[in-house]
Structure 1
């Protein structure tokens, strides 16, 4: 059923990867028992290559497992002590999916005339997932009779928490907890959950501000919206090539 739901929403994949977890292996065995050769024939006819990771090697799927964990954590925090209706929950999940798939993957110049950053949505949809609705919600909207306003406010909560969970995967820390060095002229992403959801401003570092101990913790970044001053822990350096 999961494969059929995926195909119905995203089209037929050419390759599927999954780990050797008990649930996946057991489901594979049950499907083969129930449908005999029908499952493998379907995959063969659709040119789907289904691959399992080697046994006892879940770390080989760390890239997607970490992302799944970040999303689950953000959703759990967002929905703590809240019981939204089915319609609000479906909208929240769809918005969360769009936000995760709109994260930038490659460098694009901060020039407003340049092409936008490449995102997972480009691979899934052939284009970006678009900008969110330009509406400002408040905590009062969680009690609103309007379902869409409740869903949008919950999405704001998800965005802030998800950026908080996702940022450490973008900015690896050294053993002493310090962020990687950022120099004047570096291209960076600004990852800030307080910005409008789905916002990933890009720009170039124009100034650094060391503290009394000589350690730089704040920088100015020139973006298309002007110069923004941000802590280094919210800046993600983009490789020049």
Structure 2
């Protein structure tokens, strides 16, 4: 079991600096006396698991780009985005790259072009690479199913429901909830987005006849430092509980090794056979995926989907 990615443990950065994106749940929306399918595009802040939901009309590249543009307008431009290898995400990343290349030719937009987004794709057939996204998708789908059920709403009401689901997700506790009323509140994603659980600052914070703005800023800074310290001491250690694969037992694959590629839709006797052409390592210098050319094509797969042919390798 590897270390957590750097994007998951980076502290004190602007919200949604490192973002994950995933599509889920097509459902019916009433429009002009007929129903249409809509999808939800989920953006998550990788370090504190905050979510942002966008309603999209389709799964094509244009809809994906529109969702990203709306997300940037409301949350700011991220430095990096991770997603699976869906064709809509691949197309969106390509068009963003081409757009930034065009902007670089313009002297006015040269500064903006330097702030391009780094878009990273997880290997195909490797949902565990995006486990942080899959878990949040499950929670959002459960909240939507409880709120909508099988009924179809208008587009405005659907967006309102998504806002409520977003609020509930960002109010969920990240640390243990204590039954003692004198204990500290559990950390939630909203602590890192708006400073506390509720959607508005308490009126007492701004009460009084003479307001000391310098003291107010100093107090807000001290609260922010305390929140991040709790994130480091309470929440972060709970993510890295290595309950399995604690020691090195498997020999890492290398270029030139013969492997079978596991495919759940193919009988084991018909697994594609190939020789590893190139391996990819993570930040901890462990091989996590590889490219394997076979008779039916070249595949990029995680090593958990590969079986070594040599019998002397464990």
Q: TM-score, normalized by length of structure 2?
A: 0.35
- Structure with greater helix share of residues: 1
- Structure with greater strand share of residues: 2
Q: Find the structure with the greater CA-based Rg.
A: 2
